[in-house]
Chains A and B, each alone.
Chain A
Amino acid sequence: MAPHPDRSISAALIAASFFAAIVYAPVASAQIGGPQVSDFTLDNGLELVVIPDHRAPVVTHMIWYKVGAADEAPGKSGLAHFLEHLMFKGTKKNPGGKFSQVVASIGAHENAFTSNDYTGYYQRIPRDRLKEMMAFEADRMTGLVLTDQVVLPERDVILEEQNQRVANKPRARLGEQIDAALYLNSPYGKPVIGWRHEIEQLTRDDAIAFYHRFYAPNNAIVVVAGDVDPADVRADAEATYGKVPRRGVFGPRIRPTEPEPIAARSLTLADPRVAQPSLQRSYLVPSFQTAKAGESEALEVLAHILGTGSNSRLYRTLVVDKHVAVNAGAYYDSAALEATKFSIYGVPAADVSLQTLEADIDAVIADVIANGVSSKELERAKTRLIADAVYAQDNQMTLARWYGVALTAGQKVADVQHWPDRIRAVTATAVQNAARHWLDKRRSVTGYLVKDKSVAHVEKRS
């Protein structure tokens, strides 16, 4: 669980760590977890994915709505996440905190999260309580009751969450600025948690309208992982979720897309609290959903070779050999409906300027573009990535999240299952081409985090 019991592990930052965990911890090739995974759709359009795991009498029950921050109207940033919090305020049938009280009374854990593309709720429960949880979730799919008495304090809560995740953290503030500059047209440019001045104006009516528009069985996916039999899950789901009528028509999720980027951008965030400068760069790249076949997998392997672990190109060159950085790495968010980002970061060594560090980062990228990657590097990256699929078998929560993230980003169960095969198929040429094509500076925003020296920072004791 989170350090604070926070029902919204949500928002940009966690979404980011989700992706990081998920990109590198996906499930299983067909021979590992695949065959037991079942997938079916109820008459009202609700899709279910069941991942059996019988080692402990525990079940992870998750509902994923196909709506996220990228679906908010202009001026209403933070609304998807605000609604996520408000979903715990009770329904006509189960008023107030009754759902949470029952969850606590059975020793279960619950939480929720929001990203650009999805909003999710989960309980980790003893297996015999699954149907009861389904009944509660089915009830709050349509029965939410909100009054200002509960909405207004919760808005203060998410403002504190924004303080905690972003305002108090210079690196997170820089990340928001980079996203805002990277995405010229896509709603991914807004923070998932929202801009503070817009969060402050969100109302009960905003939340209810958003809820009525997007929360419906035919716009959701339920993922159940754990000690269950798929036939029982189906029966329980039909008896609970199955009673919620289909509502509206949810077609393809069409958002404004990015124009072809043409200008390298850079920005500087100066903050008096920066005791350790750093550099972050994001490139606009395809997600699994928007990529041509194989391209997204090549980017995953590239991110690994460039920036994961002590033998990655960036770490070895900048940190170990040249001593210009204390840390450096790269990561790629493949699971997204729209074009996404490939990011690189570096923390300079003492007395090394961000400009020097950046020049060295550029040289590492230029070398991969010009000379490609070695077969040894390629094999190492694939071994590591594919092994993570086996390790993921050990954790039902990881599996459930991976399916949820992938499916709400438009993938199919088979896409998830065959991920290891697709990684295995990546060639050195594909990796080099991905670097050449996508790591073009004109596609990027580089952010510098520096100390603002115009404001004296004094730690005062009292």
Chain B
Amino acid sequence: MRLTGLRMLIAAAALVLLAPLARAMTIDQITTPSGLHAWLVREQSAPLVVLNYAFVGGSSQDTAEKSGTANLAASLLDEGAGELDSSAFHERLENHAIEMSFRVGRDYFHGTLRALNEHRDEAFGLLHLALSSPRFDKDAVERVRSQVISGLLRETTDPGALASRRWWQTAFPDHPYGQDSDGTLASVPNITVADMRDYVGRVFARSGLTISVVGDIDAKTAGTLIDRAFGSLPERNNLRPVPDAVPGGAGKTLVVGIDVPQTIVDFGGSGIARHDPDFMAAYLVNHILGGGTFSSRLYREVREKRGLAYGVSQGLIWFRHAAVFFGGTATRADRTGDALAIIRREVKRMADQGPTAEELEAAKKFVKASYVLNLDTSTKIAAQLTQIQLDNLGVDYMERRDALIDAVTLSDAKRVAKRLYGPGLLVTVAGEPKGVTPVRASE
């Protein structure tokens, strides 16, 4: 559940690659008997059903003193609910081979459920229990708390975690986005059952709920099952407001000293909001500079030509109240300075000159064509449906996406490259790097 930079990067990359294949795929917008809305895709090639859903209100609902509350609550939902204690609840899941998972991001609580057709009634019934009457038994709370603390302890000497945490703290000081979803060694011991009940009570409501279902199931049955899981939740959520924020720290280079063979470098800056008209141009430019193929500029310069790192990449991350671009690499201590210099040079070159026409065309082709790879399993389709709904892109987004990509011109790309990469980087480094000069103040 730890939101390291890299993990967020993967998430971000996955989010955007939605688009064209799905012409063959029909999305039904259904309304359940109790009035909940959901998107449904019928997929009959395997006898199973996948549910993917999200509530507005993730770890950004945590106060600084109690950071990690949402995460701890999420980790306890399957540890006893209703009449079932932890052991009984897990037994019911296992006896029916039901997969139920919960995850907390900064903006949302995410859940998935996967069941064989023959056990789907049981699955949605157990989900209802987990969401509406979690027990938070003392034993389970202390057990899960000790697991979270054990993970946090391990992170104290994990250079990846150290670099990432420092980056987010610096980019978003005094804002919930600067806190790690897992919380801290200071905050997690203080979280009470009342805190978790408060979180669940405020967030698990029909009003902030997004639902996607994929499987061998008709609309009527899906509606009944959705109501079984979510129908009885309170009508309105009651969220703490999260202020809009712009990431700070551009120009800073911060070093966390730790004796490890390989130095971790995180870098990034202010991104572009999902609804900004420049978003698609930014997505393409980012892909050209450091997106997920073996042809990106950073990959070629840092890995391919010089062997400075095993990997280097970056992605766009968009939240409800902020947006960033964020990237990372890992390199030998004595060559960290070289790697960072090349990353800075490439970022600046992209800001100053933008991509070439050929690069832009290649990126468009890739981004359009690769979309289909994200829609070849029920689990992936359900996740994409939820993301499209959360981003408010409309049920026809898949059909419109190619045109949105094609509409980006070279001058858009150049202008947006300047906007994205012009202000410079916030860099955090963990290790004992050579050739890196810390810069504490913003330029």
Contact of A310 with B by CB under 8 A: yes
* Binary flags per residue of B142-153, CB closer than 8 Å to A gives 1, else 0: 010011011101
Contact of B258 with A by CB under 8 A: yes
Q: A272-B259, A395-B377 are in contact. Are A57 and B90 (CB under 8 A)?
A: no
Contact B372 A107 (CB under 8 A): yes
Contact B306 A5 (CB under 8 A): no
Q: A100-B294, A104-B293, A461-B257 are in contact. Are A384 and B97 (CB under 8 A)?
A: yes
Cβ contacts under 8 Å, B114 to chain A: 391
In angstroms, how far is the closest chain B Cβ from the Cβ of A233?
18
Contact A311 B94 (CB under 8 A): yes
Partner of A391, one of B48, B79, B303, B331: B48
Contact A326 B147 (CB under 8 A): yes
Q: Which of A160-168, A184-192, A417-425, A428-436 contacts B (4 or more CB under 8 A)?
A: A160-168
Contact A126 B87 (CB under 8 A): no
Q: A124-B373, A394-B377 are in contact. Are A5 and B311 (CB under 8 A)?
A: yes
**A460 — nearest CB in chain B belongs to which residue?**
B257
**B255 — nearest CB in chain A belongs to which residue?**
A462
CA distance A105 to B292 in the complex (A): 13
Cβ contacts under 8 Å, B13 to chain A: 1
Cβ contacts under 8 Å, B50 to chain A: 394
Contact A53 B310 (CB under 8 A): no
Residues of A17-70 whose CB lies within 8 A of B: 53-58
Contact of A198 with B by CB under 8 A: no
Q: A160-B309, A168-B260 are in contact. Are A105 and B362 (CB under 8 A)?
A: yes
Q: Which of A148-156, A215-223, A255-263, A330-338 contacts B (4 or more CB under 8 A)?
A: A148-156
In angstroms, how far is the closest chain A Cβ from the Cβ of B267?
14
* Binary flags per residue of B287-331, CB closer than 8 Å to A gives 1, else 0: 000001111100100011111111111000000000000000111
Contact of B29 with A by CB under 8 A: no
Cβ contacts under 8 Å, B295 to chain A: 97, 100-101, 104
Q: Which of B65-73, B154-162, B199-207, B415-423 contacts A (4 or more CB under 8 A)?
A: B154-162
CA distance A151 to B328 in the complex (A): 24
CA distance A99 to B235 in the complex (A): 54
Cβ contacts under 8 Å, A4 to chain B: 6, 309-313, 329
Q: A153-B304, A309-B94 are in contact. Are A3 and B47 (CB under 8 A)?
A: no
In angstroms, how far is the closest chain A Cβ from the Cβ of B258?
6
Residues of B364-412 whose CB lies within 8 A of A: 365-373, 375-379
In angstroms, how far is the closest chain B Cβ from the Cβ of A378?
12
Contact of A73 with B by CB under 8 A: no
Contact B150 A383 (CB under 8 A): no
Count residues of B near A (Cβ-Cβ below 8 Å): 86
Contact of A457 with B by CB under 8 A: yes
Contact A462 B86 (CB under 8 A): no
Cβ contacts under 8 Å, A58 to chain B: 21, 372-373, 376
Contact of A293 with B by CB under 8 A: no
Q: A157-B307, A167-B262, A326-B146 are in contact. Are A394 and B48 (CB under 8 A)?
A: yes
Q: A100-B295, A391-B114 are in contact. Are A276 and B332 (CB under 8 A)?
A: no
Cβ contacts under 8 Å, A155 to chain B: 307
Contact of B272 with A by CB under 8 A: no
Contact of A316 with B by CB under 8 A: yes
CA distance A158 to B50 in the complex (A): 39
Contact of B3 with A by CB under 8 A: no
In angstroms, how far is the closest chain A Cβ from the Cβ of B75?
12
Q: A105-B362, A163-B330 are in contact. Are A275 and B154 (CB under 8 A)?
A: yes
Cβ contacts under 8 Å, A383 to chain B: 94-97
Contact B307 A156 (CB under 8 A): yes
Q: A4-B313, A390-B48, A393-B46 are in contact. Are A167 and B261 (CB under 8 A)?
A: yes
In angstroms, how far is the closest chain B Cβ from the Cβ of A202?
13
* Binary flags per residue of A349-389, CB closer than 8 Å to B gives 1, else 0: 11000000000000000000000000000011001101110
Contact of B7 with A by CB under 8 A: yes
Q: A3-B7, A126-B372, A310-B90 are in contact. Are A459 and B156 (CB under 8 A)?
A: yes
Partner of B262, one of A57, A108, A164, A384: A164
Contact of B9 with A by CB under 8 A: yes
Contact of A86 with B by CB under 8 A: no
Contact of A2 with B by CB under 8 A: yes
A–B complex contacts, Cβ < 8 Å, 17 sampled: A2-B311, A6-B310, A56-B21, A58-B372, A104-B366, A107-B368, A108-B369, A124-B373, A152-B307, A310-B86, A311-B87, A349-B146, A380-B94, A390-B116, A396-B376, A459-B256, A459-B257
Q: Told that A107-B371, A156-B308 touch, could you supply 12 new A-B pairs with CB distance under 8 A?
A: A3-B9, A3-B311, A4-B309, A5-B294, A5-B296, A56-B24, A57-B21, A100-B295, A311-B91, A320-B143, A347-B150, A394-B378
8 cross-chain pairs, A with B, having the tightest CB-CB distances, nearest first: A4-B311, A107-B369, A156-B307, A460-B257, A387-B97, A153-B307, A107-B370, A163-B262
